[in-house]
Chains A and B, each alone.
Chain A
Amino acid sequence: MMLRPRTDRQAGPASSARADKGLPPAARALLVLALLAVFAGLVLAVLSLSEPAPGLAAAVDERIDESGVSHPVTAVLLNFRGYDTLLELVVLVLAVMGAWSVGRARGCAGNVPGPLLRQLPRLMAPLMVLVAGYLLWVGAHAPGGAFQAGSLLGGVGILLCLSGYPLPGWANGPALRVSAVLGVAVFAALGVVAALLPGGAPLDWPPAQAKTLILTIELAAMLSIGVVLAALFAGGRP
């Protein structure tokens, strides 16, 4: 599709006209008053927080050596609070299933790029994939990780779609579906394996193998996040 500002003129006036006549002035004034009261309550809540702030930073610091990575945020995401991340990947799969169930994507092959969009992906896409790999690797000891890397991969997919880059036929078939659920599948499978080890529990990585396990999961999660974001951009099932 071409992203041209003409949608501005077409969608704009109609929507503003409709939006502005929804509420009578009295109701609107009442709404503003109610929201100001809500805001005042929230401000009071923040100002009355206990002063020596409770927090989990010390607890994370204490156990970081067992997590397999040295960056605390990655340790929390993939080790200490692994359920959060696992369920988040489930949410991504559910979102793409929802989007696929409401309609068919038009496909990207019909997009006719301008001269800039024809050349830009050739330059940017390999670089973005490289940066995604770097972010994934560096996430073990510095800011970065599967989410940032995956969203960059999603950006690559969006760029390729906008430029009408011809994807091979298999890319829209089972390969797409498998890579969308790969993150959940790998994460859950390894979590179950960890539970079967002697003395293990679900999603409880043994410290010696933790780094390998975390990187494996992150690799799969990155691929899934990228594929899901690109599929959501396409807007329907292929």
Chain B
Amino acid sequence: MAGLSLLDWALDGVLALLLLWLAWRALSTPALFRAVVLFIAFGLVLALVWARLFAVDVALAEMAIGAGVTGALLLAALVRLAPPIGRGRAHGRNGERDGA
């Protein structure tokens, strides 16, 4: 796979740095909601990387699953994990009552 131009390398380098930075932030930022949103952004950048590597099938799947469905699953779980009592008003609906 010779013949990568300088522009190709620059694009690859920027994408790789962005990917690693997003992964690091998603795994280290203290607030969980922000971590999940950063993880969704990570999935979208990863889809771009798949496209760069000519893995278009994988890019499509990553776009729909890695960024879309996984993000929705994580956000839904985050809402269900949130403390339902304590700070406030009518937020109890989101929490505990989903048990059988």
Contact = CB atoms under 8 A, between A and B. Distances in A.
B78 A236 contact: no
Interface string B15-55: 00000000000000011111000000000000000000000
Consensus secondary structure, chain B interface: helix
Nearest to A144: B60
B33 A12 contact: yes
Interface stretch (A56-64, A147-155, A172-180): A147-155
A105 interface: yes
Nearest to A5: B33
A105 B98 contact: yes
A112 to B, nearest CB: 10
Contacts of A147: 57, 61, 65
Given A1-B94, A144-B57, A12 B72 contact: no
Q: Among the interface residues B34, B76, B83, B94, which one has the most CB atoms of the partner chain A within 10 A?
A: B76
A12 B97 contact: no
Interface residues of B, number: 33
B57 A235 contact: no
A106 B87 CA distance: 23
Nearest to A230: B69
B82 A233 contact: no
A145 interface: yes
Interface residues of A, number: 37
Contact of B33 (A2, A7, A235): A7
Contacts of B87: 10
Among A1, A19, A103, chain B packs the most CB atoms within 10 A around the CB of: A1
Contacts of A233: 69, 72-73, 76
A148 B93 CA distance: 34
Given A10-B83, A103-B99, 9 more contacts: A1-B76, A7-B33, A8-B34, A11-B31, A11-B78, A73-B57, A105-B98, A110-B93, A233-B76
14 contacts: A1-B76, A1-B80, A1-B94, A2-B79, A6-B82, A11-B81, A11-B82, A73-B57, A106-B97, A154-B65, A154-B69, A233-B72, A235-B76, A235-B98
Interface of B: 30-34, 56-57, 59-61, 64-65, 68-69, 72-73, 75-83, 87, 91, 93-94, 97-100
